[in-house]
Chains A and B, each alone.
Chain A
């Protein structure tokens, strides 16, 4: 958290991996939980499947958020695809003190990271495949990634996710959504 009481989260994914929706849903989960203010900021240009995508969410338990600028020094980074970590402009934002949540089955090489960086991994892709939680271009990673984030940050639990997702997407798909969320919530681990 910054001195101004605002927690900043960045999302790095590839077009189609649902990272932009993740930034919006995180704003909704935390607001539902009782955070005072949230803002979801997608970076929009010429998106296409597979291209690197960035989004930000700023949340605050007790302050109004008055900024629209991009997040340069995040508290958390959600990495939907480990191949993005080799892109310099993404790699460079991994600074001391940040917590990474990565869709991966393997731990990251900590020697390549600044000191005092916490790394959590969750097999979000595997969870989606196992639960057949897919859309036309692949696994819907945002729900398991946000399940993992809820657990790691402690900002919201599964019940909050269920409440918001029911409101957003209806009863029909809630079981599948919650199955992947729970799977990720329970299996995310620090490495």
Chain B
């Protein structure tokens, strides 16, 4: 058992101009994580590099930093550490996450509150290291919660909020905190790093030597964990409990977002979604990740031209905010859903647009859902393009006609011109 020492390095409130990756590292430090396991992969590498600097420089006394030979071992070692009753952290991207996949399922199965930052990148081939959320979204059915963040500050804030949600005894599930590779990971913006005392008061206390409530590792009392269970055993019931906990985590996420706002003064909507200028909107776009922030600029410009447009920022993919999406879809006539990820062979080809359609199934009086995909593999999306996207929704609302250039009902926006 690793015991944090008393003479911890204390962070006082400070604004620093830092990269998104560095904001993630500072969040882990502020959360006083006790075990970090690391393997480098672009564009995440500077997260674990920064943490190794902190640990080496004595700024995280008591924290164990484990260097392993692969991402699979990163998560395997964190599973062990978390089972022993410690707060743990790591970060990965794209192929690294895929290499971890077996342990991704394992983590949720053991109900461990591990938080992992994901600097999202497009899956290979061809090799791609730029923003695309297909990596984190492809872990949809593992039992992990997953959050998208749109700003550097939100990376720091969401990691803190995540520990509070994950470690809640009614939840006890792991969580991804994702942000676009390079777009957030390598750009620098001012970020408020919070006072250590304030963070300590906000977060639950670090687990004591008894660890988490459902697992107690004690060398004097050896037990076998994760053993083979016969089909007649409790396997099915364990799975039901994971689903139940994930659905119930919605109310916890909302409560934590509210408490975060009260403590630190920064609002993230209701935690699951965040609306922007939805008052009286005829049409709206649902965005997630960095493009949600930039869409605000496009919304303002198109509103200026006299059109009633709004935006909904999706903050969580799992748990999926079904009830909130129904409410949003009742407010507008056309709801564009913009994916920066692919779900091949799904109803729309986009993972979030497919979820939105599923969420609305069986509810009458909701908006026409128009699925769109852009920015795949980090392709640049400009504010001008985002204004065009809004204009497409306005046109659908005015004429009732869909654009012609659709692929199985979905508009892939910003394609290269080919002669």
Contacts and interface: CB of A to CB of B under 8 A. Distances in A.
Tell me the dominant secondary structure on chain B's binding face.
Answer: mixed
Contact of B190 (A37, A42, A44, A68): A37
Interface stretch (A24-32, A119-127, A129-137): A24-32
Contact of A67 (B17, B180, B184, B383): B383
B188 A68 contact: no
B190 A31 contact: yes
What is the predominant secondary structure among interface residues of chain A facing chain B? Answer: mixed
Contact of B189 (A4, A37, A44, A69): A37
Interface stretch (B110-118, B169-177, B288-296): B288-296
A12 to B, nearest CB: 18
B51 to A, nearest CB: 19
A68 B186 contact: no
B188 A44 contact: no
Contact of B187 (A31, A37, A42, A66): A42
A39 interface: yes
Contact of B17 (A38, A41, A44): A38
A31 B293 contact: no
Nearest to A35: B190
A40 interface: yes
B293 A66 contact: yes
A28 B294 contact: no
A40 B190 CA distance: 10
B250 to A, nearest CB: 28
Interface in A1-51: 4, 24, 27-28, 31, 37-42, 44
A187 interface: no
B187 A40 contact: yes
Interface in A36-83: 37-42, 44, 65-70
Interface in A145-161: none
Contacts of B189: 27, 37-40, 65
A4 B300 CA distance: 11
A68 B381 CA distance: 9
A41 B187 contact: yes
Contacts of B290: 68
A8 to B, nearest CB: 13
A24 B16 CA distance: 12
A11 to B, nearest CB: 13
Contacts of A27: 17, 188-189
Given A27-B17, A67-B294, A68-B293, A39 B187 contact: yes
B381 A69 contact: yes
Given A66-B297, A67-B294, A44 B182 contact: yes
B303 to A, nearest CB: 14
A37 B380 CA distance: 22
B17 A69 contact: no
Contacts of B43: 44
Nearest to B297: A66
A142 to B, nearest CB: 14
Nearest to A36: B190
Contacts of B182: 44
Interface in B318-336: none
A69 B383 CA distance: 7
A2 to B, nearest CB: 11
A4 B301 CA distance: 10
Given A24-B188, A38-B190, A40-B188, A68 B17 contact: no
Given A67-B383, A69-B381, A69-B382, A42 B293 contact: no
Contacts of A70: 380, 382
Contact of A69 (B186, B190, B296, B380): B380
Contacts of B180: 68
Given A28-B17, A37-B189, A39-B188, A68 B183 contact: yes
Nearest to B189: A39
Contacts of B383: 67, 69
A37 B43 CA distance: 24
Contacts of B190: 31, 37-38
A41 B297 CA distance: 18
Nearest to B184: A68
Nearest to A65: B189
Given A68-B187, A69-B380, A70-B380, A40 B17 contact: yes
Nearest to A67: B294
29 contacts: A24-B17, A24-B188, A27-B17, A27-B188, A27-B189, A31-B15, A37-B190, A38-B17, A38-B189, A39-B188, A40-B188, A40-B189, A42-B186, A42-B187, A44-B43, A44-B182, A44-B186, A65-B189, A66-B293, A66-B294, A66-B297, A67-B297, A68-B180, A68-B290, A68-B293, A68-B294, A69-B380, A69-B381, A69-B383
Given A27-B188, A40-B187, A68-B294, 14 more contacts: A4-B297, A24-B17, A24-B188, A28-B17, A38-B188, A39-B187, A39-B188, A41-B187, A42-B186, A44-B43, A66-B293, A66-B297, A67-B297, A69-B383
Task: Enumerate the 9 nearest inter-chain pairs by beta-carbon distance, A residue then B residue, closest first.
Answer: A40-B188, A69-B382, A41-B187, A66-B297, A68-B183, A39-B189, A28-B17, A66-B293, A67-B294
